[in-house]
Amino acid sequence: MLQLTDVAIYNLDNQLVLANASGKLNEEKSANAFNTTLNLSNAATNKLSVGDSYYAVGLTEGNKPVRSETVKCIQDGATPTFEGSIPFPQQPSNFAALGGSEADMLIQYNNYSQTTFDRSTWGANLQYGFGGLTTSPGPTLAAGAGQQSIGANQILSSVDEGPADVYLCWAQGINFGVWIHFNFQMFGIGPRPVWYVSTNGSAWALAGSNPADPYTWDSSAVGFNIVGTPNSGHSSLTVSVVITQLSNS
């Protein structure tokens, strides 16, 4: 059971329908399914509809980001409740349990600006099917041509994977970062990984409706040119972030 703060609820069109709530998230496997329950408090104003499907994004202790699987609203109002269940599909006849790639989730930063950044929030939540980190970031992202990354891989590709996350933020007057979320998959069936961005301490926001699209940070908010370019697969996601100096800096 995870205690969540700063919970935001989105519909399946990625539209925000509830914000600034808190609650409890529980995700676990049963014999035949992956089950999720979510209970929120202090949701005084919302646009929820009982029977409709949503997902939640929130923070755990230490400001670590978490996203739920898809859930249905079974009670609205000030204390809404959600439940979801992903039944395990039948194993395909041609299925082969293979190890994952060198890094199935990878965030890499290349800093060509004149500023050295300090590592801030970072880490991973690696559940079913994932091994440890393939690479961990150092404490600083050096100016000039500094490079740091965080990555994780699957140990039994396509058997029983996720949900899992890696995230890495940098700070130096401003704060920005990337978070990759690997949705639950069974035998390779399930949504592909998605990624989120944070700008100067703001709440995490989906980088785009298509995880294969690049994202450009607002240079007026961060003071640098920062562009994230993804390489998106069904069971893998790499995001390469390049930082350069503004032309008038």
CB 8, CB 16: distance < 8 Å: yes
pLDDT at 47: 82
150 neighbors 121 (Cβ within 8 angstroms): no
State how far the Cα of 179 lies from the Cα of 204, in Å rounded to an integer: 8
Give the chain's mean pLDDT: 86
pTM of the full structure:
0.83
What is residue 52's predicted lDDT score, i.e. its pLDDT? 95
pLDDT at 219: 92
Q: Average pLDDT in the 181-206 region?
A: 81
Average pLDDT over residues 3-23: 91
The predicted-structure confidence for 78-116, as pLDDT tens digits, reads as follows: 889 999 998 776 665 665 555 555 558 899 999 999 999
Q: Which residue has the tokens 């949705």?
A: 183
**Domain 105-244, what fold?**
Mutm (Fpg) Protein; Chain: A, domain 2 (2.60.270)
pLDDT grade for 224, boundaries at 50, 70 and 90: very high
Residue 130 pLDDT: 67
Going from N- to C-terminal start, the domains of the chain cover 2-87, 105-244
- Region 162-169: what's the mean pLDDT? 87
Provide the pLDDT confidence category of residue 218 given band limits of 50, 70 and 90: very high
User: How far apart are alpha carbons 186 and 53 in whole angstroms?
Assistant: 20
The CA-based angle 221-62-195, given to 5 degrees, is 55
Check: CB of residue 153 under 8 Å from CB of residue 131.
Answer: yes
User: What pLDDT does 236 receive?
Assistant: 85
131-157 pLDDT, tens digit per residue, is: 678 899 999 999 999 999 999 887 655
